[in-house]
């Protein structure tokens, strides 16, 4: 029997590399496409020992051609942290527009199931809490986060139109805050910033008063959700996140306890349009996929901290912290 094949755009990134690993463990051949704008080769260097794995150093903003069959196309290619998409706004918008169009066309050509990794950022700074998929959001279309927010909103519209026009089997996953091993130290989001600051004995930089909340979900749980969506016929959009909130200040305190660090906490200005609260309603994911996160915050933080301790020598200095 032919081995199933999955194409992962953005497969050298944080989430993408975990997805590639899991697909190989499930017996898939995996083609990883990544421009390496924010992805890293060392995230995927050992994957060819786990199964048939091919890396393609390409930009999905350009047309993609594969001679072999494919059963799944996962589109995760995009800068995903505020620090990254503020540095690369045009590339972010192109990944959501041309990148989505090209990966959709590839899925249509191959008759493959298509999964878009969208984002909770489509809800902006939400005025409805928790956020269900029916909420249209509160997004500033010309603010500093707009390149990412609007790229993903456009990508969702394009996926919806492609499905209606061509009958492509598509699904939209709205991904909430995710953390775990292989997040870049310079990623800029709260978990890697706090962990590396704590391990280095530097002050933890909490933005604003730290009362803003996030809903953190360990990366392995997200991968399970993406695979469950792939093997279903559900079109989405579906929220994939953790319905348990934590304030940014409490997150900093938990990381200090987990690392045993004596670093102080300092407060810095919050970025413009930083969401006050972010928490998913995952009723649809529970009902339609039977999915919910399983990894508790303490367990996930312990795993992540252990990885950062093991890889400290490979790190460079941090970029400014964002949350």
Dihedral angle computed from the Cα positions of residues 92, 97, 103 and 104, in that order, rounded to the nearest 10 degrees: 150
Task: Give per-residue burial for 123-145: e unless 16+ CB within 10 Å, then b.
Answer: bbbbeeebbebebebebeeeebb
Can you list the alpha helix ranges (DSSP code H) found in the chain? 14-25, 82-87, 89-96, 98-110, 146-166, 190-200, 219-230, 248-259, 283-289, 297-310
By annotation, the residues acting in catalysis are 148
Contacts of 144 (CB under 8 A, 6+ apart): 82, 86, 271, 272, 273
Number of DSSP helices (H) and strands (E) in the chain, helices first: 10, 13
């Amino acid at each position: 029997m032919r081995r199933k094949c999955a194409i992962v755009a953005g497969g050298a990134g944080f989430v993408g590399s975990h997805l590639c690993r899991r697909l190989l463990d499930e017996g898939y051949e995996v083609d990883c496409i990544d421009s390496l704008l924010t992805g890293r080769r060392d995230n995927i260097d050992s994957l060819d020992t786990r199964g048939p794995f091919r890396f393609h150093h390409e930009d999905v903003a350009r047309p993609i051609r594969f001679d072999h069959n494919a059963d799944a196309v996962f589109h995760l290619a995009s800068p995903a942290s505020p620090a990254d998409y503020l540095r690369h706004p045009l590339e972010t918008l192109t990944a959501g527009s041309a990148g989505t169009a090209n990966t959709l066309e590839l899925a249509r050509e191959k008759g493959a199931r298509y999964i878009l990794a969208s984002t909770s950022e489509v809800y902006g700074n939400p005025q409805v809490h928790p956020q269900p998929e029916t909420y249209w959001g509160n997004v500033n279309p010309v603010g500093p986060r707009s390149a990412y927010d609007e790229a993903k909103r456009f990508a969702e519209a394009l996926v919806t139109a492609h499905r209606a026009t061509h009958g492509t089997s598509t699904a939209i996953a709205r991904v909430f805050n995710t953390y775990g091993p292989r997040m870049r130290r310079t990623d800029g989001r709260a978990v890697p910033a706090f962990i590396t600051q704590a391990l280095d004995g530097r002050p933890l930089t909490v933005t604003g008063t730290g009362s803003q909340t996030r809903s953190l979900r360990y990366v392995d749980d997200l991968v399970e959700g993406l695979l469950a969506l792939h093997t279903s016929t559900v079109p989405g959009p579906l929220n994939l996140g953790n319905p348990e909130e934590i304030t940014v200040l409490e997150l900093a305190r938990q990381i200090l306890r987990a690392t045993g660090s004596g670093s102080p906490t300092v407060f810095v200005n919050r970025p413009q349009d930083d969401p006050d609260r972010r928490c998913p309603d995952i009723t649809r994911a529970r009902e339609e996929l039977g999915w919910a996160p399983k990894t508790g915050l303490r367990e996930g933080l312990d795993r992540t901290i252990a990885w950062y301790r093991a890889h400290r020598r490979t790190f460079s200095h941090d970029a400014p912290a964002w949350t």
